Chains A and B, each alone.
Chain A
Amino acid sequence: MGRKRLITDSYQVVKRREGPVGHSKGELAPELGEEPQPPSVDEAELELLRQFDLAWQYGPCTGITRLQRWHRAEQMGLEPPPEVRQVLQTHPGDPRFQFSLWHLYPL
């Protein structure tokens, strides 16, 4: 019989990488050699729309599309940012843009 089979045998064996001169406890400074990917344009726009959803001045965000909420805020004179409307109009039909943050969660 071989040695006792441990459950950890089913995991990959990954050796911890040792830094130079024993800095293996954890690094506070960012590692050199790897830059974070520049956020894509889509990500920036989605972030803008998410901030619009979470702004409390324009009323509740669930249950209606972002465009409807933007028009409602404009009619009541709250001056919602026009960039949000432009973003919404450049991506018609894309559910990630048109519907609110909580769209996938029922009620």
Chain B
Amino acid sequence: MFSEQAAQRAHTLLSPPSANNATFARVPVSSYTNSSQPFRLGERSFSRQYAHIYATRLLQMRPFLVSRAKQRWGGGVQVKKLCELQPGEKCCVVGTLFKAMPLQPSILREISEEHNLLPQPPRSKYIHPDDELVLEDELQRIRLEGDVDASRLVTGTVLAVLGSARDSGKFVVEDHCFAELAPQKPAPPLDTDRFVLLVSGLGLGGGGGESLLGTQLLVDVVTGQLGDEGEQCSAAHVSRVILAGNLLSHNTQSRDSINKAKYLTKKTQAASVEAVRMLDEILLQLSASVPVDVMPGEFDPTNYTLPQQPLHPCMFPLATAYSTLQLVTNPYQATIDGVRFLGTSGQNVSDIFRYSSMEDHLEILEWTLRVRHISPTAPDTL
């Protein structure tokens, strides 16, 4: 269960029951601050256009990129806007990337009758060798060619390219760079080992008849009811549990109840009701002993687009009695014991996976760190 460094072996399982039971106090959380206020939406207005998001993104990232470009290509490199470009002159341009993908599912193409197209079946990757890259800044856009790997980049990334413009109207790229990692605050030293448990993909309500044994075992380990005294002591070092999304399985989102007429579905309950009841019981056991943060995921009953708002406490009547339960947004940011955590439930990584040739999810996650943006594809395809 625990790795070699974390576990302490006590070999007390086969000893006769003792009169006094050993109790372990859980390590108290010395400091916790929830910094995900920027992700809470106040009022919802649906008339806002995406241009504001892109303009703000470019304006905020521009200084980081300019300093990074000067660092990489020397201080003498000229940073110009697209409107100031001269053909043949080598300079650096900062802008947002747009990738024109012919295979991207487009609602306009689907409902346009002149093409008589059937809706495209969902594929795992929408990349194509013919994808084109376009760089946009505040006023203009220009096509990119040259030494840039179109298959790896996705729409919405802000980057700096070094190259020159041709007479044909395209920009030939020699090199490009992202706004790499931001300066980090050093983590304060801790006195004892503390662990944060990350759980994801519980997939309740799957309906496949599988039992909840795995989940129940997990809850028992964390609450210290399993294992010998050494492992119970190690479990006491877990100071927080973060449930990172996909708490309900995608079977709960069956399309039948949505597409069928109302009179056919009157007596049937949505599958998510039963799943949420099971989740409530699990959360009750967990939050009785450890602070829990619950993040919504792709199939959970909250809004679909990022940032997802916290699940409503009325869904968990038993577990909300405990103040250790916290329902948080997705993405979620908090400072636990001086270490800053920032995470999502994975929708951004799977979206980048669909639109780029990168295969490894960890590599995609590292790439989002380098680009300094949690989900560059966000208003476009997420």
A binding-site residues for B, Cβ under 8 Å = 56-57, 59-60, 62-64, 72, 76, 78, 107
Pair A64/B52 contact, Cβ less than 8 Å: yes
| A78 and B60 alpha carbons, distance in the complex (Å) | 11
Residues of chain B within 8 A (CB-CB) of A76 are: 56, 59-60
Pair B60/A59 contact, Cβ less than 8 Å: no
Residues of chain B within 8 A (CB-CB) of A78 are: 59
B binding-site residues for A, Cβ under 8 Å = 47-49, 51-52, 55-56, 59-60, 138-139
A–B pairs, 9, beta carbons within 8 Å: A59-B52, A59-B55, A59-B56, A59-B59, A62-B51, A63-B47, A63-B49, A72-B56, A76-B60
Cβ contact of A63, chosen from B52, B59, B138, B139, cutoff 8 A = B52
Residues of chain B within 8 A (CB-CB) of A56 are: 138-139
How far in angstroms is the closest Cβ of chain A from B212? 47
Residues of chain B within 8 A (CB-CB) of A62 are: 49, 51
How far in angstroms is the closest Cβ of chain A from B115? 26
| A100 and B51 alpha carbons, distance in the complex (Å) | 15
Residues of chain B within 8 A (CB-CB) of A63 are: 47-49, 52
Pair A60/B139 contact, Cβ less than 8 Å: no
The A interface, classified by DSSP as helix, strand, loop or mixed, is loop
Contacts A59-B51, A59-B52, A62-B49 aside, 9 further interface pairs with beta carbons under 8 A come to A56-B138, A60-B49, A60-B52, A63-B48, A63-B49, A63-B52, A64-B48, A72-B56, A107-B49
**CB nearest to B52 among chain A residues:** A60
| A56 and B81 alpha carbons, distance in the complex (Å) | 13
| A62 and B47 alpha carbons, distance in the complex (Å) | 10
Residues of chain A within 8 A (CB-CB) of B139 are: 56
Residues of chain A within 8 A (CB-CB) of B60 are: 76
**CB nearest to A62 among chain B residues:** B49
Residues of chain B within 8 A (CB-CB) of A60 are: 49, 51-52, 55
A-B interface, 10 closest residue pairs, ranked by CB to CB distance from nearest: A59-B55, A60-B51, A76-B59, A63-B48, A63-B49, A60-B52, A60-B55, A56-B138, A56-B139, A63-B47
| A72 and B48 alpha carbons, distance in the complex (Å) | 15
**CB nearest to B47 among chain A residues:** A63
| A96 and B119 alpha carbons, distance in the complex (Å) | 45
Residues of chain A within 8 A (CB-CB) of B59 are: 59, 76, 78
How far in angstroms is the closest Cβ of chain B from A76? 5
**CB nearest to B55 among chain A residues:** A59
How far in angstroms is the closest Cβ of chain B from A91? 23
Query: Which of A56, A60, A63, A78 is the most central at the interface, judged by chain B CB atoms within 10 Å of its CB?
Result: A60
How far in angstroms is the closest Cβ of chain A from B284? 43
| A38 and B241 alpha carbons, distance in the complex (Å) | 70
Residues of chain A within 8 A (CB-CB) of B51 are: 59-60, 62
Residues of chain A within 8 A (CB-CB) of B48 are: 63-64
Residues of chain B within 8 A (CB-CB) of A72 are: 56
How far in angstroms is the closest Cβ of chain A from B211? 51
**CB nearest to A106 among chain B residues:** B47
| A63 and B45 alpha carbons, distance in the complex (Å) | 10
**CB nearest to A59 among chain B residues:** B55
| A56 and B51 alpha carbons, distance in the complex (Å) | 12
| A86 and B132 alpha carbons, distance in the complex (Å) | 46
| A60 and B52 alpha carbons, distance in the complex (Å) | 6
Residues of chain A within 8 A (CB-CB) of B138 are: 56-57, 59
| A60 and B47 alpha carbons, distance in the complex (Å) | 14
| A82 and B59 alpha carbons, distance in the complex (Å) | 20
| A78 and B59 alpha carbons, distance in the complex (Å) | 9
Pair A107/B47 contact, Cβ less than 8 Å: yes
| A64 and B139 alpha carbons, distance in the complex (Å) | 19
| A60 and B54 alpha carbons, distance in the complex (Å) | 10
